[in-house]
A and B are shown apart, each in its own frame.
Chain A
Amino acid sequence: MNGTETHTLVATVADHPGVLTRVASLFRRRGFNIASLAVGHSEEPGYSRMTIAVEGSAEEVKQCEKQLYKLVEVVSVRNLTGAPAVTRELAMIKVRVTSNERPGLAEITDIFRGEIVDVSKTSMIVQMTGAQSKIDRFLDVITEYPIEEISRTGVIAIARDDVGPRNGRARG
């Protein structure tokens, strides 16, 4: 029995109305747990790319892939969990801060390589891009500040190509 973990599935789907409903309906009726789902255009006109973070055991996620693949509008499904891949998420966090607190938050944001994208009299909006764990860690660190709003895109992922033995250049 494998334990539950989060798997990252990347699916290429026909860009038809209703395709998102089909995918969502499938997850709901089969009892698969979506942690996040992000969808947007792909490199090919008429096809979208969905990145779905699913929680479950390896067997459950395998079954989930097979069920996804049965949808006529799903052209391909890849499980990138454990495979060489780049995964990213974007988060925007609105934090209530007094003018005295601003420099402190700005400093932490800087350490995490985030960006302050808006400042008002009472709040700041931080934009943070990176692996999901980094965003989670940032949120842990700023717990002392009252958070007003968080909006996250959910992860998107893309597989890396094989790196040649000599000129491979690892990039985070």
Chain B
Amino acid sequence: MSAINGQSTNGSTAAPGTPRTGGEVVCDAMLAAGVDVIFGMPGGASLPFYDSLYHYQDRIRHVLIRHEQAAGFAANGYARATGKVGVATSTSGPGATNMVTCMANDIMDSVGVVYITGQVARPAIGSDAFQEADVTGISIPITKHSYLVMDVDDLPRVMSEAFHLASTGRPGPVHVDIPKDVFLETTTETAPDQVNLRGYRPSKVGNARMVRKAAEVINAAERPIIMAGHGIDISGAADELMQLATRGSIPVVSTLHGVGTFPETHPLSFGMLGMHGLAYANFSMRQTDCIIGLGTRFDDRAVGKEDEFGPGAKVVHIDIDPAEIGKVLETDVPIVGDLKLTLQKLLPLIESRDRTPWLDQMNGWRRDHPSLKIPDSPDSVLPQEVVRAIYDISGGEARVIADVGQNQMWASQHFWYERPRMFFSAGGLGPMGYALPAAMGVKLADEKQDVWCVTGDGGLLINIQEFNTLAAEGINVKVAVLNNAHLGMIRQWQEFFYEGRYMGAFLDNPDFAKVAQAFGLHGVGTSSRDEMHEAIAMAHEYDGPVVLDLHVDRVENVYPMIVPGTGVNSVIEDPR
């Protein structure tokens, strides 16, 4: 029982031959991966693991969430904010199935989370035992990899592989299902010094010949444009992106997950593209002669109609995942590699060029289609104003976690993100209920940073039980509820595409300020503009979690909007 004796039990330093229980092996692996906070809820099958956590609580903080879905989303937020691996844990059966949405979310957004689930004891597997579910069977299509560990001697190797897989290459969720009796058994095995997986060799620097070809294509382009994706953030390549853009005078648009990888107030930044992207960002994609896709999978919400997306443009695509290249767009210069390393090879080959005519043209669209103008609204506060107020009061220094729906688009549009890892949103799967738990993970990743959760009223209700976690753990997250009494995005689609036949779009909400108070949180509700500003200023100063129930205009729409199936030519801009 080395942990009790206070000896070092770090996976990398545990003396070979020291017997450890399965539970201790998992704890040591977390420490070796630098994980200091995990999120979970115990249950019968994972109780032995919790007994190990008990002995590690000086080194690993366990945050008890109130629904396992919150564990997965919080671990996602922690992972995205730190660049480390997040850890979420649950018991077998219902605990594990509650995290299925989180795994699907992580794989879509390339976020490294290790899921530790308890399983019924080995002799009971396959017998329909109490709380048994074939969760590794369920998680196969929504994880990067998964393990059912049937022998404790395999566990040290499995745990180091799990952390390695989650964090390298294209990151993603890894599921480790551990039967109750495996947690209890002891092993003298240690993790190998190096993970050795024959079938897993993520590439590093892109092919040199292709890099030279990319430089030729970019140098020859009159109207190139960089499409910056999540890969910039994951690879830590924001500096290289800046150099590429400024050296070549190449404008930058970002995907939803690329927001902040290039400073949004920089003159070469043309904001986010896509369905609710800025009109001028999308106009530029129509006219460009060279798309430089960096760490992006050309998602349909970003690209829209493929044949109106850079028609005739050359496509240079750099991504770590070979399967993304050529999946959506035909690619002229495919490069598989880590972005940072590959851009470092590319940069010296990029000619410094004056591209004033192209930039003038783009700035013309920016001037004529100012997508971010907030209209006057004498009778109601607009949700956009709330996001602006948070931007102003935090000096643009807050980390913002958006939920899903209209609030997500406004939070991406009306705040200018200057660095990676300032804006967090579940873009790929789009699960409502993401923001509140993810914000807890982001906050605990670095408590010095201000963290704002911007959520819809509908999305808040999906994981509102986490108010209890905020209160109990004193997690200093500011929650701004853009309360429009609607599933706003649904209402907007029904207005636009179903001739106003509203069905299942109206929300009969509780008083969220009172709900927050009942949970022991500081809660304020208002529908006035002045009070909204005051409340945000108060929350900014307040030392502890705050919930602001901000009653905003009920029927405000998100603009601009490119109707699905159409191209940028038929973009709907704000009519006001």
* B145 in the interface (beta carbon within 8 A): yes
Q: Is B144 an interface residue (CB 8 A)?
A: yes
Q: Is the CB of A22 within 8 A of B140?
A: yes
Apart from A18-B140, A73-B199, list 9 A-B contacts with CB within 8 A.
A13-B199, A14-B198, A18-B148, A66-B322, A66-B323, A69-B323, A71-B199, A72-B199, A72-B200
List residues of B whose CB falls within 8 A of some A CB: 136-137, 140-141, 144-145, 148, 165, 197-200, 321-323, 326-327
- Establish whether residues A63 and B327, one from each chain, have CB atoms under 8 Å apart when the complex forms: yes
Q: State the Cβ distance, A123 to closest chain B Cβ, in Å.
A: 38
B-contact bits for A120-131, CB 8 A (1 contact / 0 none): 000000000000
Q: Are A25 and B141 in contact (CB under 8 A)?
A: yes
A70 in contact with B140 given A14-B199, A75-B198, A75-B199 (CB within 8 Å): no
Q: Determine how close the nearest CB of chain A comes to the CB of B299; give it in whole angstroms.
A: 16
Question: Chain A: which residue is nearest B325 at the CB level?
Answer: A66
Q: Which residues of chain A have C-beta atoms less than 8 A from B136's C-beta? A: 18
A62 within 8 A of partner (CB)? yes
Cα–Cα, bound, A26→B144 (Å): 12
Q: Nearest A residue to B144 by beta-carbon distance?
A: A72
Give residues of chain A (5-37) contacting chain B, Cβ–Cβ below 8 Å.
13-14, 17-18, 21-22, 25-26, 29
Whether A67 sits at the interface, judged by CB under 8 Å, is: yes
Contact among A17, A29, A62 for B326, CB-based, below 8 A: A62
Q: Which residues of B contact A66 (CB under 8 A)?
A: 322-323
- Which of B145, B322, B323, B326 interacts with A72 by CB under 8 Å? B145
Taken together as a complex, chains A and B put the C-alpha atoms of A70 and B203 apart, in Å, by 12
Asked whether B327 lies within 8 Å of A29 as measured between CB atoms, the reply is: no
- Complex Cα distance, B329 from A59, in Å, reads 12
CB of B321 within 8 A of CB of A70, answer: yes
- Across the interface, which residues of B come within 8 angstroms of A67, CB to CB? 323
State the CA gap A156–B37 with chains docked (Å): 49
Q: Which residues of B contact A72 (CB under 8 A)?
A: 144-145, 165, 197, 199-200
Query: Of B199, B322, B326, which contacts A74 at CB under 8 A?
Result: B199
In the bound assembly, the distance between CA atoms of A67 and B197 in angstroms comes to 17
A interface secondary structure, majority? helix
In the complex, chain B residues whose CB is within 8 Å of the CB of A62: 326
On chain A, the residues within 8 Å of B165 by CB distance are 72
Q: List 17 A-B contacts (CB under 8 A).
A: A13-B199, A14-B198, A14-B199, A17-B148, A21-B137, A22-B140, A25-B140, A26-B141, A62-B326, A63-B327, A66-B323, A67-B323, A69-B322, A71-B199, A72-B144, A72-B197, A72-B200
Known: A62-B326, A72-B165. A21 touches B199 (CB 8 A): no
- Which residues of chain A are within 8 angstroms of B199 by Cβ–Cβ distance? 13-14, 71-75
A residues in contact with B323, CB < 8 Å: 63, 66-67, 69-70
Which residues from B are CB-within-8-Å of A63?
A: 323, 326-327
Which positions 53-84 of chain A face chain B at CB distance < 8 Å? 59, 62-63, 66-67, 69-75
B145 proximity list for chain A (CB < 8 A): 72
A14 — which chain B residues lie within 8 A by C-beta?
198-199
Q: A11 CB to closest chain B CB, in angstroms?
A: 10
B148 CB → nearest A CB, Å: 8
Identify the closest chain A residue to B146 (Cβ): A18
A73 to chain B, nearest CB (A): 6
What B residues does A73 contact at CB under 8 A? 199
Name the CB-closest residue of A to B336.
A66
Q: Which residues of A from 138 to 167 have beta carbons under 8 Å from B?
A: none
CA A69 to CA B169, docked complex, whole Å: 13
Residues of A within 8 A of B144 (CB): 72
Kindly state the separation between the CA atoms of A2 and B145 in the bound complex, as whole angstroms.
33
Q: How far is the CA of A13 from the CA of B199 in the complex (A)?
A: 8
A73 to B198, CA, bound (A): 8
**Are the CB atoms of A21 and B140 closer together than 8 Å?**
yes
Chain A residues whose C-beta falls within 8 Å of the C-beta of B148 in the assembled complex: 17-18
Which residues of B have CB within 8 Å of A69? 322-323
Distance in Å from the Cβ of B110 to the closest Cβ of chain A?
12
Chain A residues lying within 8 Å of B321, measured Cβ to Cβ, are 70
Q: How far is the CB of A99 from chain B (nearest CB, A)?
A: 49
In the bound assembly, the distance between CA atoms of A155 and B452 in angstroms comes to 58
Q: A66-B322, A66-B323 are in contact. Are A29 and B200 (CB under 8 A)?
A: no
Q: Inside 8 A of B326's CB, which chain A residues have their CB?
A: 59, 62-63
Q: Are B197 and A29 in contact (CB under 8 A)?
A: no
- Report the nearest A residue to B199, measured CB to CB: A75
Most A CB within 10 A of own CB, among B197, B198, B322, B327:
B198
CA distance A75 to B495 in the complex (A): 51
Residues of chain A contacted by B197 (CB below 8 angstroms): 72
Interchain CA distance A74-B145 in the complex, whole Å? 12
**Residues on B with beta carbons closer than 8 Å to the beta carbon of A13:** 199
Cα–Cα, bound, A63→B323 (Å): 6
| Nearest CB of B to A12, in Å | 9
Establish whether residues B322 and A29, one from each chain, have CB atoms under 8 Å apart when the complex forms: no
**Across the interface, which residues of B come within 8 angstroms of A25, CB to CB?**
140-141
